[in-house]
Structure 1
């Protein structure tokens, strides 16, 4: 394992985060704080509780997951796309570093940013709503697993994208709608029976549900099922990335 190469890639990506602190950290935190104000105060004053939990607190896991998914994908996608755009990816591929080490460097940095952002948003949420975390270890497990999983997914998007505009297509047109429709702001038990069944085909439901269970001890889907779904997405992303490096798709040709 070439630790020096991993450290170089990881350090370069993290340095980019500190150079663009307003865009990488401050902007997502402010955007999420606005959600707390609008949904927690305006709507929360009318919808006081959901499943015995204050509405302002109920939406916290969903908002954290929304930021986590979008930022993980964006950070990892841009991280690997920029070397493609500048042509330096060929120097990276010809260097004495394996595909596994490349992925660890880029994905590790993107996941670190996302975990840091998630923790900052949680700290910010305590300023607006009374928040409790019944299972902090499970919360951290879902936080890290989700960050790594969707950083891998973002890595795939960065390799697939042929232009900067494509980097935003999936986060904006796919992930964000799925998150809004995945129970971030409501319990799926509030939906009609037919739509409850349809919603279960949305993978984000399991992520939000498992994350919410770590806070309040209750969820729409069993925590074991949520964890299994997260791991399944993680394995699928790893398999796709392995195929990409083995075939050279969108990298060497």
Structure 2
């Protein structure tokens, strides 16, 4: 394992993040505040509690998941796409580093950035509502696994994309709608029975449900199913990344 190479890639990506630290951290703070104004004030005034939890607190896990998923994808996809765009990826491929070390560097940096943003959103939410975390270790585990798995997914998108517009295609048109329809701001038990069955086909439901359980001890699906879902998704992403480097898909051409 070439640890200096991993550290060099990781440090380079993190330095790019810290160069725009204010923009990177200010944006989620403003977005979280707006969500609380819109959902907490407008909708929360009509919904007192959901499954015994105040509505303002109930939406916090969903807010964190929304930001963490989209930020993980954006950070990882841009991180690997930019070297492709300017041609420096060939220098990286010719260096004495294997694909695992390249992935660890880029995905590790993207996951770290998303984790920091998730913590910032959690702290910001604490100014609006009282938050109690029943299972802090489970919360950190779900958060970390989500950061890693969606950073891997973003890495794949960065390899697949042919232009900057395609980098935003999946987060905007796929991930964000799935989060909104995945119980981020409501419990799927509030839906009609038929729609509850349909919602279970949304993979984001399992991630949001498990993460919310770590806060309040309530979940739409079993915690075991949530862990299985994120484990399968991570394994699938790792398999695709391995295939990409094995075949050279959109890297060597």
TM-score, normalised with respect to structure 2: 0.99
TM superposition shift of 1:55: 0.1
Q: Does 1:155 align with 2:155?
A: yes
Does the Cα contact within 8 Å between 1:32 and 1:67 map onto a contact in 2? no
Note if 1:130 corresponds to 2:130.
yes
Does residue 167 of the first structure (1) align with residue 132 of the second (2)?
no
1:31 and 2:7 are equivalent in the alignment? no
| Residue in structure 2 matched with residue 186 of structure 1 by the alignment | 186
With structure 1 as the length reference, what TM-score do the two structures score?
A: 0.99
CA displacement at 1:29 relative to structure 2: 2.2
**Structure 1 range deviating more: 134-143 or 32-41:** 32-41
Q: How does 1:22-101 map to 2 (within 5 A)?
A: 22-101=22-101
How far did 1:92 drift? Answer: 0.2
1: CA distance, partners of 2:80 / 2:168: 14
Provide the alpha-carbon RMSD of the alignment: 0.7
- 2:65, 2:29 → 1: CA distance? 13
Instruction: Tell me the SS of whatever aligns to 1:97.
Output: coil
Does 2:205 align with 1:205?
A: yes
Whole-angstrom distance in 1 between the partners of 2:76 and 2:31: 20
* Greater CA drift, 185-194 or 32-41: 32-41
1:250 counterpart SS class: coil
Structure 2 distance, partners of 1:54, 1:228, is 28
Q: Deviations over 1:134-153 (max 9, x none)?
A: 00000000000000000000
1:140-185 CA-partner distances (Å, limit 9, x unpaired) = 0000000000000000000000000000000000000000000001
- Kept after mapping to 2: 8 A contact 1:81/1:158: yes
Q: Which residue matches 1:222?
A: 222
SS in 2 for 1:133: coil
Q: Which runs of 5+ in 1 are unaligned?
A: none
Displacement of 1:46 in angstroms is 1.2
For structure 2, the residue ranges without an aligned partner over 5 or more in a row are none
Q: Is the 8 A contact 1:47 1:55 kept in 2?
A: yes
Match in the other structure for 1:239: 239
Report the secondary structure of 1:111's partner residue.
Answer: helix
Aligned to 1:168, the other structure's residue is in SS state helix
CA deviation after TM superposition for structure 1 residue 38, in Å:
1.4
Aligned twin of 1:195: 195
Mapped to 1, the partners of 2:142 and 2:83 lie a distance apart of 30
Helix, strand or coil: the match of 2:137?
helix
Pair 1:250 & 2:250 matched? yes
Q: Deviations over 1:177-202 (max 9, x none)?
A: 00000000100001111111111110
- Give the aligned partner of residue 139 of structure 1: 139
Secondary structure in 1 matching 2:207: helix
